[in-house]
């Protein structure tokens, strides 16, 4: 799913307007939607009841979308792919017109600007999940509000602007006992899951040795017209934070923990405070060396990962999502079994990487009462790599995983000691 160049004014904090109802009264999966504004309706909070139950059908999870912009469409579409077990009940946006237009366009029954009202739910039944789809600078405050209302969260990437904010969110999740998952949809494609499972000593692909991870995308100047783009304070960074984070997260899902990074970053051509390109070399805990490029300056766009292992080269090349066909395995001399492992499991109809795949996994976890994927702890490792790429680029020194802790200049902002181009 592409990051959208669509612009609009993003304000922080929700106003207290009533949530309005955009459809006439009807009954869906045990929940009656009324045309009366939600703030005037009787609410009977039932803290332990966060799923709706249609006595004649399966358990259905009601979710709400916070932020009715570009990526929110992917969330509604993803939930529709699981229509038998979930539905989006309401959309909340700081911009009432935008919320209403989103609801009309997507068929979401209710829309409004009051997140507290949406979190209180309908007829006292709280939503099972809040999809936080707002600009990055609002994620932690909105997710925390959801947690405090007892509603689990699926928050868009990047989950937080800094490791300090990420730790605040982790603390809020621990304090409330309510779970947060982060959207990293590329972990959930059929081929990605297969490859992750096949890497390692004694596995079909063997030990990883060398890797390449490229997010080479193109965004013209108008992309930065949106008020939240291009600033350390609201977007949190450039292609390293906002775009390459997807491939880097997939790389970590494949290779395991990273250990040390050396990086450079530059602002070469775009109207942004942040970098528009970064280049890094990463050493993983198992010794694998990887290069990581993140760019918004690259006319032939690609998202690609290549891992050379003991037994094969495994590669994926796509843009915003892959299917099995986007992967290729080339066996090393003397290891034909790696190629046959790959072709034996190929499935042209298998799901690719998409929000629908991750939403399915989140619904499975809600059903099972297990941790929602991708967990905040795993997402923190990815955010630590992003922070460390910036820290290395801005200090000229290698940075180790975990080194950016309270007191470090890069703990509270990805800008750390400041980008060289801002200091000039």
Ligand X SMILES: NC(=O)c1ccc[n+]([C@@H]2O[C@H](COP(=O)([O-])OP(=O)(O)OC[C@H]3O[C@@H](n4cnc5c(N)ncnc54)[C@H](O)[C@@H]3O)[C@@H](O)[C@H]2O)c1
Which residues ranging from 49 to 88 are in contact with ligand X (CB under 6 A)?
Answer: 66-72
Q: Judged by CB under 6 A, does residue 108 bind ligand X?
A: no
- Name which of 206 and 238 has its Cβ closer to ligand X: 238
- Name which of 52 and 382 has its Cβ closer to ligand X: 382
Residue 14 neighbours by CB under 8 Å, 6+ apart: 92, 94, 113, 114, 115, 116
Enumerate the β-bridge partners of residue 131. 65, 154
Pairing between β-strand 31-33 and β-strand 26-28 as defined by DSSP bridges: antiparallel
- Check if the beta carbon of residue 207 is closer than 8 Å to that of residue 377: no
- Name which of 30 and 68 has its Cβ closer to ligand X: 68
Query: Which stretch, 57-65, 130-138, 326-334, 375-383, contacts ligand X (CB under 6 A)?
Result: 130-138
| Minimum CB–partner distance for residue 29 and ligand X (Å) | 25
Q: Give the chain's length.
A: 424
| Minimum CB–partner distance for residue 1 and ligand X (Å) | 4
Which residues ranging from 88 to 107 are in contact with ligand X (CB under 6 A)?
Answer: 92-95, 98
Instruction: Rule CB under 6 A: choose which of 150, 242, 244, 416 binds ligand X.
Output: 242
Which residues ranging from 352 to 411 are in contact with ligand X (CB under 6 A)?
Answer: none
Eight-state DSSP code of residue 410: T
Query: Which stretch, 135-143, 285-293, 367-375, 390-398, contacts ligand X (CB under 6 A)?
Result: 135-143
Query: Which stretch, 7-15, 165-173, 341-349, 373-381, contacts ligand X (CB under 6 A)?
Result: 7-15
Size, binding site for ligand X by CB under 6 A: 34
Q: Binding pattern to ligand X, positions 216-235, x when CB under 6 A? A: ----------x---------
Instruction: Rule CB under 6 A: choose which of 22, 138, 278, 392 binds ligand X.
Output: 138
Can you tell me the distance from the alpha carbon of 351 to that of 386, in angstroms, rounded to the nearest whole number?
28
- Tokens at 288, concatenated: 């694998």
CA 379, 186, 347, 312: dihedral to nearest 10 degrees? Answer: -80
Instruction: Rule CB under 6 A: choose which of 29, 51, 112, 156 binds ligand X.
Output: 156
Q: Three-state SS for 302?
A: strand
Can you tell me the distance from the alpha carbon of 20 to that of 113, in angstroms, rounded to the nearest whole number?
9
- Name which of 61 and 98 has its Cβ closer to ligand X: 98
| Minimum CB–partner distance for residue 210 and ligand X (Å) | 27
Query: Which stretch, 10-18, 199-207, 271-279, 300-308, contacts ligand X (CB under 6 A)?
Result: 10-18
- Check if the beta carbon of residue 377 is closer than 8 Å to that of residue 169: no
- Tokens at 181, concatenated: 């998952």
- Name which of 146 and 338 has its Cβ closer to ligand X: 146
Q: Which residues of 273-394 form beta strands (DSSP E)? A: 277-284, 289-295, 297-309, 312-318, 327-331
Which residue of this chain has its Cβ atom nearest to ligand X in the complex? 69
Instruction: Rule CB under 6 A: choose which of 1, 118, 154, 362 binds ligand X.
Output: 1
Instruction: Rule CB under 6 A: choose which of 157, 187, 318, 380 binds ligand X.
Output: 157
Q: Judged by CB under 6 A, does residue 165 bind ligand X?
A: no
Instruction: Rule CB under 6 A: choose which of 134, 247, 288, 294 binds ligand X.
Output: 134
Contacts 24+ apart (CB under 8 A), 22-29: 22/100, 22/103, 22/104, 22/108, 22/109, 22/110, 22/111, 23/109, 23/110, 26/109, 28/87, 28/89, 28/109, 29/54, 29/57, 29/60, 29/62, 29/87
409 CB neighbour count, 10 Å cutoff: 14
Can you tell me the distance from the alpha carbon of 271 to that of 258, in angstroms, rounded to the nearest whole number?
32
Please report, as ranges, the residues that interact with ligand X according to CB under 6 A: 1, 3-4, 6, 8, 10-14, 66-72, 92-95, 98, 133-136, 138, 142, 156-157, 183, 185, 226, 242
């Amino acid at each position: 799913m592409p990051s959208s160049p669509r612009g609009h004014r993003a304000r922080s904090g929700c106003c207290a307007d009533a949530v309005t109802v955009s459809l006439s009264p009807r009954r869906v999966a045990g929940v009656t939607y009324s045309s009366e504004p939600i703030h005037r309706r009787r609410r009977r909070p039932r803290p332990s009841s966060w799923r709706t139950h249609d006595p004649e059908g399966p358990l259905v999870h009601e979710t709400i979308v916070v932020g009715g912009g570009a990526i929110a469409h992917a969330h509604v579409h993803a939930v529709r792919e699981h229509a038998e077990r979930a539905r989006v009940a309401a959309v909340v946006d700081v911009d009432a017109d935008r919320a209403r237009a989103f609801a009309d366009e997507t068929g979401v029954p209710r829309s409004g600007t009051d997140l507290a009202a949406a979190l209180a739910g309908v007829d006292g039944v709280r939503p099972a999940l809040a999809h936080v789809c707002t600009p990055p600078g609002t994620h932690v405050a909105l997710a925390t509000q959801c947690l405090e209302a007892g509603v689990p969260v699926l928050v868009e990437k990047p989950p937080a602007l800094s490791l300090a904010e990420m730790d605040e969110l982790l603390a809020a999740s621990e304090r409330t006992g309510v779970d947060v998952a982060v959207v990293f949809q590329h972990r959930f494609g059929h081929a990605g899951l297969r490859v992750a499972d096949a890497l390692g000593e004694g596995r079909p692909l063997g030990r990883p040795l060398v890797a390449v991870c490229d997010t080479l995308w193109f965004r013209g100047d108008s992309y930065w017209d949106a008020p939240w783009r291009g600033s350390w304070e609201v977007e949190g960074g450039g292609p390293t934070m906002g775009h390459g984070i997807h491939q880097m997260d997939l790389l970590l899902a494949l290779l395991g923990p990273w250990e040390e990074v050396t990086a450079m970053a530059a602002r070469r051509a775009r109207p942004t405070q942040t970098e528009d390109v970064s280049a890094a070399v990463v050493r993983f805990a198992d010794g694998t060396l990887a290069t990581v490029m993140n760019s918004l300056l690259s006319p032939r766009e690609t998202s690609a990962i290549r891992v050379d292992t003991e037994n094969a080269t495994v590669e994926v090349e796509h843009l915003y999502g892959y299917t099995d066909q986007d992967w290729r395995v080339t066996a090393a001399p003397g290891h034909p079994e790696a190629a046959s492992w790959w072709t034996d499991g190929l499935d042209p109809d298998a799901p690719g990487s998409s929000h629908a795949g991750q939403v399915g996994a989140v619904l499975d976890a809600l059903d099972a009462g297990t941790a929602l994927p991708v967990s905040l702890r795993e997402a923190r490792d990815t955010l630590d790599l992003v922070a460390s790429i910036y820290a290395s680029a801005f200090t000229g020194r290698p940075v180790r995983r975990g080194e950016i802790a309270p007191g470090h200049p890069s703990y509270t902002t990805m800008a750390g000691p400041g980008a060289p181009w801002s200091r000039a």
